Structure 1
Amino acid sequence: RVSICIEILTHPRLLFLDEPTSGLDSAASYHVMSRISGLNKKDVYFGPVSAANKFFSSNGFPCPSLQSPSDHYVNTINKDFEQDPEKGLGGGLSTEEAINILVKSYDSSQISHQVQNELSQIKKMVTDTMEKKNHADFLTQCLILTRRSFVNMYREAGYYWLRLLIFGVLALSLGTMFFHIGSSNESIQARASLLVFVVTFVTFITLGGFPSFVEDMKVK
């Protein structure tokens, strides 16, 4: 989509799009094609590649032998090649006349009707999908993402053992420092300090993975 936008910014006279919806879902494909359709003043041909040569030939613009069909199509409809002696337009037609013939023929062709039907089906499917809006509730999202976090931690054995080692060293250190603190009034402050330290440490460890957890909250 970004590549298409970059090309459109230069206001090209001719824009070739090779599978512009490849890798996109139905909603994104519909929006991309809608924008592209809004840019087009005339549709010369949009359909199966195998039928393109027959379409041009049936309208008086057959592809010469030993010439690339794609080059022939460009030469036929691109006004930049108006003075090209190798253009090969039949009957000495101008580029504008050739475009008008192809556009008129395509608009009345069965291929055009099939494309319009497919676009209508995609539009209906996208509309139905957007109307449903079936999103998981907050509790389901939390459960799924928590399970995913445990699975990722289990798969990363090194990360799992490293954290286990950190907590083990921390527990051993705290146990050594607060060993036999007694049960006097002074020990209450020591226990409070221990509790604050543990809570703070665990909180900061947890916050490390919180941003990615929030980013993945939209579970459908």
Structure 2
Amino acid sequence: MRNPSDHFLRCINADFDKVKATLKGSMKMRFERSDDPLEHITTSDAIRRLFSYYQHSQHYLTARQKVDEMARVKGTVLDAGGSQASFGMQACTLTKRSFVNMSRDFGYYWLRLVIYIVVTVCIGSIYLNVGTKYNSILARGACASFIFGFVTFMSIGGFPSFVEDMKVFQRERLNGHYGVLAFVISNTLSAMPFLILITFLSGTLCYFMVRLHPGFMHYVFFVLCLYASVTVVESLMMAIASIIPNFLMGIIIGAGIQGIFMLVSGYFRLPHDIPKPFWRYPMSYISFHYWALQQGQYQNDLVGLVFDNQDEELPKIPGEYILENVFQIDVSRSKWLDLSVLFGMIVIYRLLFFAMIKVSEDVTPWVRGYIARRRVQHKRREAELAMIRTPSLRGYVVDAAPELPADHP
């Protein structure tokens, strides 16, 4: 009833003989009778018996035959590393394993799903049936800003799990089990169903509780935009995890990057008021919040709606006017183009994740070798300085005593 590998390791490990010799005179060993055959045989006898059985087995003959075939081949370099599985098999196996791991780990996606649902229910209850009154203009903007800013911000909670995945990948990558591209593709595919589930459930609750723009295509755009934003954050955190193994530092860096992206998204500071050239170009265009919130969801929600004015006698305000004059948004650009930019960012961040792993594989050994060489040179220099400061007595020359004057006492 043992694991076979544990059984045979116990058979050939001489340390157990010392343990048995130590416990031989104890009360437990004196009064208990063990049925384990290994208690009545020494390690040397077990090794001798295993060796004898192996020499008369078919495994020994097969191995000898293969060794003789290799010995007859001259001038051929044997391939000793790498996986024999095809790229498709590697990606498929890694996807299945990663999916099982994510489904069994409660903190990977299930806890985030619960938190997302709780937060979106809170948003829906606060902005419940927001309507088209004059005050609802800024309320709709604030609701969309919170959803695509702070809700997607919570995706950094999966960073510790990303770090654990990277540790497993690095160990298996050193053993040559699979390539970097197979790992990146499998990680992307295995996470996709969970992210779709999270964004679909939470987005649906929020959309219909707040009563955003009616229409099926508007709802589809909202869910797709939320999915793209969450996936972009996941891709960004995976890229950070590839170079920063400390999950606390990674969360701090990821939170700082997202904070900067939210700052130039166009809500806290209107697009035309963002200082140029650095913050407006290129930072606001690099920010995925800018495309998801300012260029995407605002158009999706406001175009086609008509809002009440401050005074009932004044004419109603169309959503296009609000977009151009209040939120400073170019309505001539399609919202679907903005959504395609978000999906393009997903691809870019995944490629960045791939590139960082490849660079880390090449640069890290060189950096470690350089540091090791500098330490060796430093130690050698310290040893040389120590020899100069403490020379041997053999190198000293004893000067003759100085001549004293004749009248010296």
Q: TM-score when scaled to structure 2?
A: 0.20
TM-score by length of 1: 0.33
Pair member with larger Rg: 2
Q: Which has the higher contact order (CA 8 A, sep 6+)?
A: 1
